[in-house]
Amino acid sequence: MADNACGIVDVVDFEVQDFVTRDLLFSVDYATSVSFSTSAESLDIRGGIGMPVRITTHHTREANFTSELPLIDINVLGVMLGKKVATSSITAPKSERLLVDATSGKASISETPLTNTLKVYLLADNGRSELKVGDPTTKEDEYSINGKEITLNTALKGKYIKAIYDYTADTGTQMVRLTAKDFPGYCRITGTGYRLDESGGKHPVSFIAHRFKPDPNFEITFAGGTATNITFSGKLSPNLVDNEEVYFDLIYLSADDGGES
C-alpha cells in the first residue's frame, strides 16, 4: 500500500490526442520537465472600524500545462501551428557547390530541378557571377542543361559553380507549414510517471488534462553548440466530467513499479 505523502522526483511521459476524435497526435518520452500550474483571483470583503477583511472569496480560476522538449518532433510543431503535417512529394530547395570537370567541362546536380527554378553562379575569389541558359560553346557566361547534367564553357573547366534550385522530394517527405489563418485546436493530454514514498515504495502517478489549448508561440534556433528547446505549453479549459467542470485529474495509482513497499 502506497503512502499518501510522496516525492515527485522525475519527469513524466505523456501523449497528446485530438480532443474530439482521441486520435494520437504525438507521444513524448523525452521531456526535461512537465508541470501544471493554477491561479485564481481573490476578492476581500472589508467592513467596520479599521476596515478588516470580513470575508475572502476566490474566482476566475485558471490552469496551465507546460513542458520543455529538447527534441523537435515535427508533429509537435504541427499541433502548435494548427496545421497537420503533410506527408507526400514535397517541393524542397537545394543548393550545391560543384566542381566543373576539367576534362568534359560538365557538372552534375543531384536532383532534377523544377522548371524555371535553376540558378547557376560561377564562384570566384572576388565573388560570384550569374550564368545564363544559352550556348556554352560560344559564350563563357552561358550554360546548357540536360536532365541533371550542366554543360559549361571550356574556360570554366576546373572552376567551381553554385547551383540553386527547387526539386520534388521523395514520397513520404514530411513538411509543416505556418499559415496566417491556422491556429491550434483543443487537445487531451494524458501522462504517467512515478512517485516515491517514505516507506521505500515506487508507485505510478498518472494525469489527465481534459481540454488543453496549445500556445502557438515558439522559436527554433539553428546555432552551433546550442540545442533548440521547444516549450509545449498552453491553457486548460474546463471540461464536463462526472457533471463537474474539470481542468485536470492527478491519479495516485497503487500498483508497485519497482522499489520496496
pLDDT tens, position by position, 27-85 = 999 999 999 999 999 999 999 999 999 999 999 999 999 999 999 999 999 999 999 99
Strand partners, 208: 190, 249
In 10 A of CB 50, how many CB atoms? 6
Q: Considering only 176-180, 214-218, 242-246, 257-261, which range has the smallest mean pLDDT?
A: 257-261
pTM check: above 0.85: no
Q: By CB neighbour count within 10 A (0-12 exposed, 13-18 middle, 19+ buried), where does 79 fall?
A: buried
Give the pLDDT score at 25. Answer: 96
In 10 A of CB 241, how many CB atoms? 13
- Dihedral in degrees, nearest 10, Cα atoms 20, 24, 27, 33: 0
- Give dist(CA 81, CA 170) in Å, integer: 24
Fill in the amino acid letter for 171: T
Fill in the amino acid letter for 159: K
Decide: 38 and 247 in contact? Cβ < 8 Å.
yes
Q: Which helix (H) or strand (E) holds 78?
A: helix 74-81
- Give dist(CA 82, CA 159) in Å, integer: 47
Residues 6+ apart with CB under 8 A from 167: 91, 92, 94, 111, 112, 113, 114, 117
Decide: 193 and 202 in contact? Cβ < 8 Å.
no
Give the pLDDT score at 259. Answer: 43
Number of residues assigned to the chain: 261
Percent of the chain past pLDDT 90, that is, above it, reads 81
Residue (of 187, 245, 258, 242) closest to 61 by Cα position: 245
Confidence of residue 1 (pLDDT cuts 50, 70, 90): low
* HSE value, Cβ hemisphere, 13 Å, CA-based, for 259: 18
Return the higher-pLDDT residue of 226 and 38. 38
